Structures are given as structure tokens and as C-alpha cells.
């Protein structure tokens, strides 16, 4: 049985969570493990899942309300020991500086473009794999 990577997806919008799952597919690239998703609609649920452990990469929707993914990213980078890498979904390319402020490792714009998103997710999974090795 092949190991899988666990990807936590945070968005208050079920359509955005669905876009992430569809863009990733079962495996975002041939050289990374298949992915399983944990979906969260609230920041509290994200914190609970991160406390449980076992998350390889997080995807946070920067447009979520009441807590945006960039603010949540900055919070978890401060509070979660060995916080997994975070990919934030931003509303427009000009918001990339906010993604940097949040300390996210990657950012892609909404709506999710499958090739761009899968490439960014695969890159974070590769980095995570190198850190674990």
C-alpha cells in the first residue's frame, strides 16, 4: 500500500474546497504521493486538525470569512510547532505581498486554475518529503 499525503483545506465556501479537490485530483504530480483531503469550514476546525497532527500541507482560502486564510496562516505559523507548509488562495495577484506577510510558502489566485494549483501543491509536497527524509 502506497503512503498518502494529507492536505487540509480551509475555506468557508464549499465551492472553493471542491475546486481545490478537483484541481489536485488524486495525485497532483506523478512524483508525489496520492493525496487525501481534510476539509474545514472554520478556523477553529483547522486548529483542532493541526493539533491532531498528520497534516502534510495546508491550503487556506485568503477570501474566507470571518477569518481569512492569510490571517490564519500567520497565526498557525506562530502557534503550531512544526507547522506544515501553507498554500494560500488569493483574490488577485496584487495580494501576493499579503501572502508573504502571512508567511505562506506559496500562493495562487482564485478561481483555482488546475495546472497552476497542482504544480504549487506538488512543489510543497516535494519540499515536505525532503524535510522528512
For the chain of 133 residues, list the mean pLDDT of each consecutive stretch of 10.
88 97 96 97 98 97 96 97 96 92 96 97 88 60
Residue 11's domain spans which residues? Answer: 5-104
CATH of the domain at 28: 3.40.50.2300
**pLDDT at residue 131 in the model:** 65
Do 100 and 112 meet the contact criterion of CB atoms below 8 Å apart?
Answer: no
**pLDDT at residue 41 in the model:** 98
The count of structural domains within the chain is 1
**pLDDT at residue 128 in the model:** 78
| Residue 46: inside a domain | yes
**pLDDT at residue 4 in the model:** 94
The residues, ordered by sequence, that sit 6+ positions from 126 with a Cβ below 8 Å of its Cβ are 31, 32
The residues, ordered by sequence, that sit 6+ positions from 90 with a Cβ below 8 Å of its Cβ are 62, 63, 70, 96, 98, 99, 107, 108, 109, 110
**pLDDT at residue 129 in the model:** 72
Amino acid at each position: 500500500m502506497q503512503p498518502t499525503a494529507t492536505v487540509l483545506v480551509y475555506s468557508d465556501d464549499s465551492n472553493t474546497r471542491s475546486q481545490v479537490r478537483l484541481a489536485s485530483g488524486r495525485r497532483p504530480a506523478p512524483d508525489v504521493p496520492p493525496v487525501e483531503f481534510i476539509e474545514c469550514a472554520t478556523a477553529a476546525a483547522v486548529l483542532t486538525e493541526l493539533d491532531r497532527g498528520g497534516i502534510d500541507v495546508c491550503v487556506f482560502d485568503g477570501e474566507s470569512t470571518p477569518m481569512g486564510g492569510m490571517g490564519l496562516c500567520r497565526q498557525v505559523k506562530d502557534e503550531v510547532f512544526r507547522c506544515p507548509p501553507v498554500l494560500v488562495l488569493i483574490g488577485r495577484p496584487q495580494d501576493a505581498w499579503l501572502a508573504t506577510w502571512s508567511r505562506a510558502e506559496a500562493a495562487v489566485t482564485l478561481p483555482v486554475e488546475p495546472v497552476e494549483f497542482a504544480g504549487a501543491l506538488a512543489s510543497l509536497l516535494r519540499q515536505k518529503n525532503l524535510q522528512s527524509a
